[in-house]
Amino acid sequence: MLHVRFTPGRRLAIARPSAPRASAGTAVIDAPAPPRSAPSLSEPPGDSSDASVIYHGSRPRMTIEDWRARGFSDAEAKRRLRTALLSATRVSVVVITRAGVAPLRHYPYHSPDGFEWGYGGSGPADLARCILLDHFGVKPRRRNGFYPPQPEELPVAYQAFKAEVIAKLRRNEPWSLTAEQVSEWVREQR
């Protein structure tokens, strides 16, 4: 079992605890389930012995640095932090490998504002495409500040991945997809 703890503003902690436990901001990833016909979005992903990759999305609460990055002064950032609704969050999508954790690279085309999930819009389209680009090791070419898709870029339609997987993720809940689940979906498309 792999124990993954996400704490906003801090590094991701990955450990193999002796007893399973979970708390707020924690994902416990069990051994892989038997093969199924489609990726399960309701169960945690598996931990295999190969160099597996996990794509993880969450909405951590915004920090003073997040407000500053949006152009607010220090005083206004602190005020917003004190008075902001609990729903004031930012979108975070990371790639977890045995080598470490890094943000999923955003190659903007549909949504210059970033990733989203849980519906069929532009943010989910960019998320679907960027997960598939990362999965296949493709780096698209930049044109006029954006990264328009090319027909030969991916062996599958990222819009189908958006509709069948990304749009079905619960919008306000953390989620994880393994490289195995992505590969399984790709195999079903061929």
Taking the chain (190 residues) in runs of 10, the rounded mean pLDDT of each run is 41 42 41 36 40 87 81 85 65 92 95 92 96 95 91 92 96 92 93
SS3 label, residue 64: helix
pLDDT of 113 reads 84
User: 57: Cβ–Cβ under 8 A, 6 or more apart, which residues?
Assistant: 91, 92, 93, 115, 117, 127, 169, 174, 175, 176
Say whether pTM exceeds 0.75. Answer: no
pLDDT of 85 reads 55
pLDDT of 95 reads 95
Q: Per the structure block, which two tokens stand in for 171?
A: 């919008």
pLDDT of 88 reads 64
Nearest to 120 by CA among 166, 81, 69, 71: 166
Nearest to 158 by CA among 129, 137, 186: 129
pLDDT of 37 reads 35
